[in-house]
Amino acid sequence: MNNIGFWNVRGFNNVNKQHIVKNFINRQNIGLFRLLETKINARNVGNISHNLFDGWCVTTNCHTHKGGRVWIIWQPSLFDLLVLQYNPQFIHAKVIVVATQQVFYLSMIYAFNDGKEIVELWNWLKSFALQCSDPWALVGDFNTVIHPDERMGGHTKQEDMDDFMECLGLCGMTDIPATGAFFTWNNKQDAEHRKYSRLDRFLINKE
């Protein structure tokens, strides 16, 4: 199966950044890709999609939130993707691998950092888990951590970590170990004010 890829890509309005992303996708032989933080206006989605991903299918949640927080791009010869729900914090889809007809659910997440709004995401995930008996993956930026060691600098609320852990437990999700840098986000400030967090994850259920 072709690779599935993910990128929190800032500055996607920049033509050079667009071509960096396109070249990365081609080099890595990726058939399904997710972009976060594009900040692309809805009226520009069509032109960028045509110029960069001609022959691919593209969907975004830009109609649910200004700037289109989540993009999903896929090759229809490799994947058949049916979006089941759009939300400002996620795109939820049913995916079929064309070559094998394997079916799985895929939720591409970009959680808000507001406590009340992120609880709405946890509640939706728990609700879907109650009706899901098929393979399911959660992928994205969850904007919170599950352990104090996953944040360096700043403050982590125990309540926020507890809510996230409860959600993952009720959904039956396992965190897939990652390679590379442990922290996936930093605030890009000077060293004495720099903060780091592990916000991005790939999670799967037992199926």
Residue 58 lies in a domain: no
Helices vs strands, H then E, count in the chain: 4, 13
Asked if residue 4 has pLDDT above 70, the reply is yes
State the total domains in the chain. Answer: 1
Q: Which helix (H) or strand (E) element contains residue 57? A: strand 57-60
* CATH (domain of 182): 3.60.10.10
**Does residue 34 belong to any structural domain of this protein?**
no
Write the pLDDT tens digit of every residue in 125-169. Answer: 999 999 999 999 999 999 999 998 888 887 788 998 999 999 999
Q: Mean of the pLDDT values across residues 37-43?
A: 81
Q: Please give the average per-residue pLDDT across 16-35, as a whole number.
A: 90
Residue range of the domain that includes 155:
111-207
* pLDDT the model gives residue 104: 97
The predicted pLDDT at position 101 comes to 96
- N-to-C CA span, the chain: 18
pLDDT tens sequence across 167-196 = 999 999 999 987 788 888 777 888 778 888
Residue 10 domain-assigned?
A: no
pLDDT score, position 125: 97
Residue 18 lies in a domain: no
The answer to whether residue 131 sits within a structural domain is yes
- Spell 75-112 as b/e; 16+ CB within 10 A means b: beeebebeeeebbbbbbbbebebeeeeeebbbbbbbbb
- In this prediction, residue 2 carries a pLDDT of 61
On whether residue 79 sits in a domain, the answer given is: no
Each residue of 64-90: pLDDT tens digit? Answer: 887 678 999 999 999 999 999 999 999
Write down the pLDDT at residue 193.
Answer: 83
pLDDT, the chain, mean: 90
Helix, strand, coil in percent for the chain, rounding step 5:
30, 30, 40
Q: Find the range with the poorest average confidence among 1-15, 39-53, 121-135, 142-156.
A: 1-15
Q: How does residue 39 score in pLDDT terms, banded at 50, 70 and 90?
A: confident
In a domain, 103, yes or no: no
Is 126 part of any domain?
Answer: yes
pLDDT at 1 over 60: no
- DSSP line for 91-143: EEEEEEETTTTEEEEEEEEE--SSHHHHHHHHHHHHHHHHH--S-EEEEEE-S
